[in-house]
Chains A and B, each alone.
Chain A
Amino acid sequence: MLFNSKSFLLFFPIVCAVYFCIPSTRIRVRNMWLLVASYYFYMNWQPAYALLLLSSTVVTYLAALGMDHYKSLENKKMCLIGGIVFNLALLFLFKYYNFFSSNIEHVLQKTGLGIDIPDFHLLLPVGISFYTFQALGYSIDVYRGVAKVEKDFWTYALFVSFFPQLVAGPIERSNNLLPQFRQKHDFDVEAVMTGLKWMMWGYFLKLVLSDRCGIYVDAVFNNVEMHNGGSFLVAALLFTFQIYGDFAGYSLIAIGVARVLGFSLMENFHRPYLACTVGEFWHRWHISLSTWLKDYVYIPLGGSRVGRWRTYFNLLVTFIISGLWHGANWTFLCWGCLHGMILCLERALGCHKKVYHGINKYLHNIWTFILICVLWMLFRANSLTDFITIVKGIVTNAGFPYVQDVGWGVLIASFAAIGAVLVKDIAAEKQWFAFPADGWVCRLVQCTYIALLLAIISLFGVFGGNQFIYFQF
């Protein structure tokens, strides 16, 4: 089920109504209701794949129980490894097997060994990268002793499958989310209003910004041979905001939905395009994944407390994993690798420690934005060959951007939405204005904000039931 589908507009009020009709003291009943709703939400897409979700849940649950049960470090380690191997095997089989097998086959053919490795034509389970990472994070935390083991299976199952963040994050930490399932959540009007406000802005980002930009982006990036440098530059700029609107929009809707129900999920995007370095960008973009990779990959590798070259190596490995996490394609791998290399360069130049002010800040901001845009082109390109065609087009074939079939209206609306988002982000960064803290003015402003966004979305939203880009990761 998509957050921007008509079925969700029916599903969410029903879930909320039943949830709040159950007395807040009956925490277990409420959790069971949320668990049923979460599995229904997931099974709406491919019912059979709920078994994968369940198996990942059962294995990590048992692994954590095992770690709690055994006293010896070796046994604990065995339980942890069992959980990790199972989850990564699932991920590998469904997401990476075909990529690796076709590449190995290709290499073998080049060396004269024509071995035919069979392909699996399996549909990628929605959100598999998200829920396996969340479950793995829990297992590692239990092993490290930073998180308490959850003995109630149903509560743990809800932690893995909690519908607002099940298919596209934020990738939650057990220490943040699990305790909330044990708490009483009374109906809180302020929380509901805040949640609705976030949901509305999330819908704006998805339907008005992302899907509108997507019309031009798809027209250009899906036919790279037909377009010139001008079109590629405009498409790259639009894709930069399309992916932001899509993913930040989804995250905000997820956080808002959870807030309405009384839960607090972690912030996933913090105005990423206002970053002054690529390093800072990764502190603001997909924060839940960045911190996951930092805590469970980068730091265990030694982080920055090792020698200079080893730190660079750690950074590269972490970002290559980040690239691969996004998808089984050379474009994602190269994208991650390039991000890693830029971070190494920034570290070598000492940019990561500098604080920028005044004009210097703006210049660094613009430079970082351009770098990010270029790297997004690689991310969006359908193949490395397409990316080379795009770069060639930009360098050698300048021209007026393609407008014909897409129409000026789409471009104007896309840039207007980008302008609105930038103004909001800059205003929030500079703290130009804030919602009044309390009183009737506060209530009126909140209501006007939600009503106005609803009106804008109904007029300018793209209602094609488009999938969220991050669902494929």
Chain B
Amino acid sequence: MKKFVGYLFCIICLWFVFDRIGGTAMWWLNQRSLDSTSPKIREIVESVDADVVMMGTSRCNCHYVPSILQDTLGMTTYNAGIDGSDNIFAQYMALCYLLQRHKPKVLCLEVQNSFIEEEESAFCTTGFFAPYFGLNEKADNVFRLSGDYWLYQISHLYRFNTKVLANLTGQVKSHWYQNESGYLPKERPVVFPSPAHWGEEEVIVNETKVQYLKMFVDECRTNGIALCFVISPAYGIAEPSYYAQLHAFADSHNIPLLDYHTSGLFIDHQEYFKDCFHLWDEGARLYSSIFASDLKRILQLRR
């Protein structure tokens, strides 16, 4: 048994050395990566100081052009949409990291049903924030909920598990647009998409997710931030009741919700879309100008 304990001690020591050296190297790579999410998260944590912050998933990322919003609203704007972060936990974490350093005046959250509905892997993209583990207590609580807290606590390498491939390819190929304030334009597609139809299945609400959406709202209110929900256009028709739960949530919490998914301007215009759920640059610019006017009206009404 003594011999085994010796072996075990040796393995743990060696692993600790590999883990810490590897973790430091991965942090270095993460700070230099130009993939589509690492620089965004880095800016949210370290440098965003805009008055208006747009938050959401890839739909937010490529739908809101900050320069257009800035011109209309007269306020600096940053697009903090993160590709693939299709759950409220990731959005909440992004908000916590942002509020730790800066309080914007206006925050728009591009909402979608995955923020409230039951899913198999609800926490899959919270790992994007794992490199910043230990920086914010509220964000760390999400890791506790996902069951990764102790693994991140023990292993520095594991903190980079979700981002490692993007960080490695991000050293060679840049997906980042330095001067676009977070906006990641999509290119014109070779073939325009066919219209989609979705929302036939019933939305089963997950109470934990709803609770986190409430916490998101509360964080904004506590910090005096004007919050607005948005649903941007999609090329296709959802069932009328598809977004009913989000509308009900917004109504009950007295949050304005700008719903563009049925907008006549976009519904018949496949030429604006990269795919059924994402506008390409031209569509995004048109949509941003419409959204900016509507947001300006809402903000004026508030005053």
Q: Which A residues form the contact surface with B (CB < 8 A)? A: 6, 187, 189, 192-193, 407-410, 412-413, 443-444, 446-448, 450-452, 454-455, 458-461, 463-464
Contacts and interface: CB of A to CB of B under 8 A. Distances in A.
Contacts of B286: none
A332 to B, nearest CB: 27
Nearest to B2: A189
Closest 5 interchain pairs by CB? Answer: A409-B165, A451-B14, A451-B15, A455-B18, A447-B10
Nearest to A460: B164
A464 B162 CA distance: 11
Nearest to B15: A451
A413 B165 contact: yes
A459 B15 contact: no
A464 B121 contact: yes
A443 B7 contact: yes
Nearest to B19: A455
Given A189-B4, A409-B165, A452-B14, 20 more contacts: A187-B1, A407-B165, A407-B169, A409-B168, A409-B169, A410-B165, A413-B165, A450-B15, A451-B15, A451-B18, A454-B15, A454-B18, A455-B18, A455-B22, A458-B158, A459-B22, A459-B158, A459-B160, A459-B164, A463-B161
Contacts of B12: 451
A250 B173 CA distance: 36
Contact of A447 (B3, B11, B19, B124): B11
B3 A189 contact: yes
Interface of B: 1, 3-4, 7, 10-12, 14-15, 18-19, 22, 26, 121, 124, 147, 155, 157-158, 160-161, 164-166, 168-169, 173
Contact of A407 (B7, B157, B161, B166): B166
B155 A458 contact: yes
A454 to B, nearest CB: 5
B112 to A, nearest CB: 18
A212 B20 CA distance: 24
Nearest to A455: B18
Contacts of B166: 407, 409
Contacts of B11: 447, 450-451, 454
B172 to A, nearest CB: 9
A415 to B, nearest CB: 12
Contacts of B18: 451-452, 454-455
B149 to A, nearest CB: 12
A412 B164 CA distance: 12
A119 B166 CA distance: 46
A378 B221 CA distance: 57
A454 B19 CA distance: 9
A455 B15 contact: yes
A459 B7 CA distance: 23
B164 A6 contact: no
Nearest to B172: A408
B168 A447 contact: no
Contacts of A444: 10
A411 B19 CA distance: 24
Given A192-B4, A459-B160, A408 B169 contact: yes
Contacts of A413: 165
Nearest to B164: A459
A460 B4 CA distance: 28
Contact of A459 (B147, B157, B173): B157
Nearest to B22: A455
10 contacts: A6-B147, A189-B4, A407-B166, A408-B169, A413-B165, A448-B14, A450-B11, A459-B158, A459-B160, A460-B161
Contacts of A409: 165-166, 168-169
B26 A459 contact: yes
B3 to A, nearest CB: 5
A228 B12 CA distance: 47
Nearest to A20: B1
Nearest to A446: B7
A204 B106 CA distance: 47
A95 to B, nearest CB: 25
Given A187-B1, A460-B164, A464-B121, A447 B26 contact: no
A463 B126 CA distance: 13
Contacts of A464: 121, 124
Given A187-B4, A464-B121, A458 B165 contact: no
Contacts of A187: 1, 4
A105 B51 CA distance: 67
Contacts of B155: 458
Contacts of B164: 459-460
Contacts of A410: 165
Nearest to A454: B15
Given A409-B166, A460-B164, A447 B158 contact: no
A459 B124 CA distance: 16
Contacts of B22: 455, 459
Given A407-B166, A409-B166, A460-B164, A455 B157 contact: yes
A252 to B, nearest CB: 18
A185 B147 CA distance: 36
A444 B18 CA distance: 14
Contacts of A193: 7
A189 B11 CA distance: 14
Q: In this complex, which of A409, A454, A458 has the most chain B Cβ atoms within 10 angstroms of its Cβ?
A: A458
Contacts of B10: 443-444, 447
A448 B14 CA distance: 6
A445 B190 CA distance: 54
A464 B7 CA distance: 30
Nearest to A444: B10
Given A451-B18, A452-B18, A459-B157, A189 B7 contact: yes
Given A6-B147, A443-B7, A455-B18, A412 B161 contact: no
A259 to B, nearest CB: 14
Given A444-B10, A447-B10, A461 B161 contact: yes
A412 B155 CA distance: 24
Contacts of B169: 407-409, 412
A458 B7 contact: no
A6 B14 CA distance: 23
Contact of B14 (A447, A458, A459, A461): A447
A408 B173 CA distance: 10
A459 B161 contact: yes
A10 to B, nearest CB: 12
Contacts of A407: 165-166, 169
Contacts of B4: 187, 189, 192
Nearest to B3: A189
B7 A447 contact: yes
Contacts of A443: 7, 10
Nearest to A465: B121
